């Protein structure tokens, strides 16, 4: 049986993950969900292990400390791809900003595309309840990255994606340096420009996080500015 694995990194997302996991399995009972937890002090890992008693397709990858979104995704992808029956990986946030209702649309578009983006900025997409500074940072950050990399995408920094596992098995994760959200940009570039993945963008409404605080930092912003130049100049 071919598997689709949903990867969701967590750090202090106990309340959010307790909502997300049941919602995913109620809509898509055949998917597999792997939570990648960076030793959250709020007990996110304990909450996931408790839910594993009820959901046999749920697993957790525990990491010793917080090392960034990119490192979490690399670890999760490598663990999931070690199973040869995995045919697709879906990446999504645990904080409620990525609504499970769109997973079906990502899977449907994935039947004919190697990389599918849940996009805020394609026609029909939108963002709910963001402060103006954050909207402008995201909007112009995307324009900046798209102009430099020339990727055929409206949403360069989107973290809601469906990717063919066979493509991901050809990615050299060890060579990827980005640790924050820029990892998502670098991965898209490799998949499309280096591996020739076809791309589709599915419109989504991006929501405000359900609980907790945003993890945007100065390091993430600086890395986002530097990464487009680094990946196009990389030999």
Spatial separation of the C-alpha atoms in residues 59 and 57, rounded to whole Å: 7
pLDDT of residue 211: 59
pLDDT band at 223 (very low <50, low <70, confident <90, very high): low
Model confidence pLDDT, tens digit, residues 37-46 = 999 999 999 9
The CATH code of the domain that includes 118 is 3.90.550.10
Check if the beta carbon of residue 94 is closer than 8 Å to that of residue 17: yes
Average pLDDT over residues 198-205: 96
Among residues 233, 121, 94, 127, the alpha carbon closest in space to that of 177 is found at 233
Average pLDDT across the chain, whole number: 89
Looking at the predicted structure, is the pLDDT value of residue 152 above 70?
Answer: yes
Model confidence pLDDT, tens digit, residues 10-59 = 999 999 999 999 999 999 999 999 999 999 999 999 999 999 999 999 99
Say which residue the tokens 């490598």 belong to. Answer: 78
More confident residue, 142 or 100: 100
Spatial separation of the C-alpha atoms in residues 126 and 223, rounded to whole Å: 25
CA dihedral 188, 199, 121, 127 (to 10 degrees): -80
Phi, psi at 32, each rounded to 5°: -115, 140
pLDDT of residue 68: 80
Spatial separation of the C-alpha atoms in residues 112 and 108, rounded to whole Å: 8
Where in the sequence is the domain holding 65, given as residue range(s)? 3-233
Number of domains in the chain: 1
Spatial separation of the C-alpha atoms in residues 92 and 148, rounded to whole Å: 25
């Amino acid at each position: 049986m071919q598997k689709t694995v949903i990867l969701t990194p967590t750090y202090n997302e106990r309340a959010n993950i307790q909502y997300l996991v049941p919602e995913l399995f109620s809509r898509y009972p055949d998917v597999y969900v792997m939570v990648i937890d960076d030793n959250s002090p709020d007990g996110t890992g304990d909450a996931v292990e408790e839910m594993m008693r009820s959901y046999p397709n749920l697993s957790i990858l525990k990491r010793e400390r917080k090392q960034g979104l990119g490192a979490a995704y690399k670890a999760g992808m490598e663990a999931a791809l070690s199973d040869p029956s995995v045919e697709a990986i879906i990446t999504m946030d645990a904080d409620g900003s990525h609504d499970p209702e769109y997973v079906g649309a990502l899977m449907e578009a994935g039947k004919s595309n190697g990389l599918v983006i849940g996009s805020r900025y394609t026609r029909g997409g939108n963002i709910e309840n963001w402060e103006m500074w954050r909207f402008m940072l995201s909007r112009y950050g995307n324009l900046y990255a798209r102009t430099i990399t020339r990727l055929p995408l409206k949403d360069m920094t989107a973290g809601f994606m469906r990717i063919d596992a066979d493509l991901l098995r050809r990615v050299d994760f060890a060579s990827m340096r980005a640790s924050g959200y820029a990892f998502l940009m670098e991965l898209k570039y490799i998949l499309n420009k280096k591996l020739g993945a076809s791309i589709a963008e599915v419109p989504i409404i991006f929501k405000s996080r359900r609980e907790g605080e945003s993890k945007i930092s100065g390091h993430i912003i600086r890395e986002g500015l530097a990464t487009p130049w680094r990946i196009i100049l990389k030999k």
